[in-house]
Chain A
C-alpha cells in the first residue's frame, strides 16, 4: 500500500513538472515536447494491442491517419469546431478498429502483422483517390485563431491531457478483469479461450482502445499541422516508430512506451543536431544495441536498478541472441 502511495506521488510530481514546463521553455522546445507527447500517446496505444494483448499490429498508423482525416473533413468540409472533430476522430478510429479487427484479429503472429500492414496501405490508397479527402494533393484545416504562444500551449496541453487519459485508462484496465484477459491471451490464447474468456471480444476491444487513442493523437496532429497529405499521414514509418518506442522503453509496461518515446526522440534530435546525414546510421546502432542488451526495455533497467554487465549478459542469454 505504501508503495502505491509512493508511486502515485512520483507520478503526480512528474505530471506537475511537465504541466508547468511550457512556461519556462521557448516555442520550439514546447513544440518538440508536444511531438514527444504525441508519440508517447501512440506508443502507449500500440502497447495495449501489441504489448499487453500480444498482437503486433504493423498498421496502427491507419488510426492516426483516419483520426487526422476525420478531423480535417469535419472541420474543413462540415465546418464543425475542433471539440466535435476531436471526439469524432477518436470514435471513428475506434469504430474502424472494431470493423477491421473482427476479421483481422482472427489471424495470429506474422499473418496479423502483415494483414494490418495491408489495411494501412489500402486506406492510404483509398484516401488518395477519394474526392472528399481532396486526393493525393492533401487537405488544409482551418488555422487555430490564437496568438502564437497560445497555440503552442493549446496543442501541448491537448496532447498531455490525451496522454494522461491513455495511461489512466490503461492503468484501470490492467487492474480489471479485462486487463487480465488480455495478458492471458498474450500468454496462451487457446488456454485463455478454454477457461472461458471471450477472446474475440477482448481482442477487439483492445484494438478499439488502441485505435481510439491513436485517433485522438492524429486529430490533434492534423489541427496543429493545419495541412495533411495521405502519404505522410499513413506512412509505415509512423507505425515503426511507435513499435520501436514501445520496445525500446519496455513492451507490456505501463510507462515503457512513454519512456521510449521520450528517449528515442531526444536521442534522435541530438544525433541529427550533430550529424547532418550520418545521424540515421548512429541512431540505428543505438536502437540495435538497446534491443540486444535490454530487450525488456530501458524501463526494466530503471526499475530493476541493475546496471552491471551481469544484467546485460543475462538478457542476452535469456533471449538467445
Chain B
C-alpha cells in the first residue's frame, strides 16, 4: 500500500507542476502595450528571424524614446514578449496561444516565413487579436478571409503592377505584352500574377513563355517577339538570364518599346557588364537601401539605413524595412483608434494609410499590403525611380539599338 501512496504522490507532484506552470504571470505595468512575437531564434529560419527581431527592437526602442504611444490622454510604451518557435509551425502556433492566453499580449507581431505565419494567423483569428506580419508573402496567408492578419510583404503576383500602371499613362497605351519567366517558384508566381493583372487591365498577353532557370539561349523566343511585334517585354528571372537576354536582343536587333526585368537593372554589376547596352532598360523593386521614402518613425529611408547600420553593423534589407513598418503601423493604428480594443485597432489597421521608410503602406481588403513596387529605369548609366513620383521621367518608347549613339 505504501507503494501505491508513493506512486500517487509522485503522479500528483508531476501534475502539480503542470497546473502551477505558468500561473506566475508577470506583474503588469498599466502603461505598457504588450506585443507578442513567436519567432525563430533557433533552427533553419533563425537567420531571417533575427532580421525581424532586430527591426522590431529598433522600432520599439525608437518609439519608446520619442514619446511612446498616445492612446487617448495616456501615454504607453511598447514592450515585445518574444518566444523561440524553433522554426517549427506547431511550436509557433502553440506559443502564440501562450502569448494570448497567458501573457495577455495586446497585439501580435508575425513570425518569419509563410508556412509558420499561416498557423499563427489562424490562432490570431480564433482569439480575434490582430497580427501584423512582415515575413510571409504567400497569397495563401490572405486567401481564407482571415480578418485579423495583415502582411507587409507585397505579393509576388503584384510585382509588375506598378509597371503596368505606368504603361497606362503612356500615349499611345501599348497593347501587346510578352511575359518570360524562369521556372522557379517565385518567378512562376510573378509571371502568373502579371498575366492575370495584364488581362484585367486590358492588355493582350501575346507571349507567355517559361524557360529553365539559368538558360543562356533566348534566340527562339526573341525571334517570336520580333515576328509578333510585341511592344512590351517583361522578364521575371535572374541576373545572368537578364544579361544574356539583353545581349541577344541587341544581336538580333529586337526592339520592343520597352524591356523590363525583375532582377538585374538595380545591380551595379549588371550595368557594368552591359555598358551602354544597359541604357533604357526598366526594372522593378519593392525596397532597397537606395530608395528614399519619407518615414514615420525615422525622417526618411536614408536616415534609417544609417542608424540601422550603426546599431547592428550590417546593411538593412527589405526584411528589416518590412519589420520596421509593422511596428510603425501598430503605433499609428493604435493612436488613431484611441483605444487598445483589439477589434477597433483591427479596423484602424485595415484603414492604414501611412508613409514609412518602407514606402507608403495601405492594405488590400484581404489584409496584404498594396503592391509597393516602384519602376526603375537605367538612364545615363544610373538607376532612377521613374514611377510613381519618379525622380526622372521615363523614356518611352526606348530608341532601337541601331538608333542609339
Residue numbers in A under 8 Å from B15 (CB-CB): 17, 21
- Say if the beta carbon of A32 comes within 8 Å of chain B: yes
Cα A13 to Cα B12 in complex, Å, equals 11
Assess the A26–B101 pair: CB atoms within 8 A: yes
A131 to chain B, nearest CB (A): 14
- Say if the beta carbon of A143 comes within 8 Å of chain B: yes
Assess the A229–B89 pair: CB atoms within 8 A: yes
Assess the A29–B41 pair: CB atoms within 8 A: no
Binds B, one of A44-52, A204-212, A273-281: A273-281
Assess the A35–B90 pair: CB atoms within 8 A: yes
Which residues of B82-119 have CB atoms within 8 Å of chain A's CB atoms?
82-84, 86, 88-90, 93-94, 97-98, 100-102, 114-115, 118-119
Cα A227 to Cα B118 in complex, Å, equals 7
Cα A27 to Cα B95 in complex, Å, equals 11
Cα A277 to Cα B8 in complex, Å, equals 36
Q: Is the interface of B mostly helix, strand, loop or mixed?
A: helix
What is the chain A residue whose CB lies nearest that of B139?
A: A137
Contact for A24 among B19, B21, B138, CB less than 8 A: B19
1/0 per residue, CB under 8 A from B, across A208-242: the answer is 00000000000001000111010110010100000
- Say if the beta carbon of B391 comes within 8 Å of chain A: no
- Say if the beta carbon of B268 comes within 8 Å of chain A: no
Residue numbers in A under 8 Å from B97 (CB-CB): 27-28, 31
Assess the A138–B8 pair: CB atoms within 8 A: no
Give the size range of A's interface with the partner. 35 or more
Known A-B contacts A14-B11, A35-B94, A272-B84; the reply to A28 vs B118 at CB < 8 A is: no
Assess the B90–A226 pair: CB atoms within 8 A: no
Known A-B contacts A21-B15, A277-B42; the reply to A143 vs B98 at CB < 8 A is: no
- Say if the beta carbon of B214 comes within 8 Å of chain A: no
Cβ-closest 3 pairs across A and B:
A229-B115, A28-B101, A227-B118
Q: 23 A-B contacts, Cβ less than 8 Å apart?
A: A9-B4, A10-B8, A14-B11, A17-B11, A28-B22, A28-B94, A28-B101, A29-B22, A31-B97, A32-B94, A32-B98, A35-B90, A136-B185, A138-B140, A140-B144, A221-B90, A226-B122, A229-B118, A266-B21, A272-B83, A272-B86, A276-B82, A276-B83
Interface residues of A, Cβ cutoff 8 Å to B: 6, 9-10, 13-14, 17, 21, 24-29, 31-33, 35, 136-138, 140, 143, 148, 151, 221, 225-227, 229, 231-232, 235, 237, 262, 266, 269-270, 272, 276-277, 279-280, 302
Known pairs A26-B22, A28-B102, A277-B42; list 13 more (Cβ under 8 Å): A10-B7, A21-B19, A27-B101, A31-B94, A33-B18, A35-B94, A137-B114, A137-B140, A140-B143, A151-B126, A225-B93, A227-B118, A279-B84
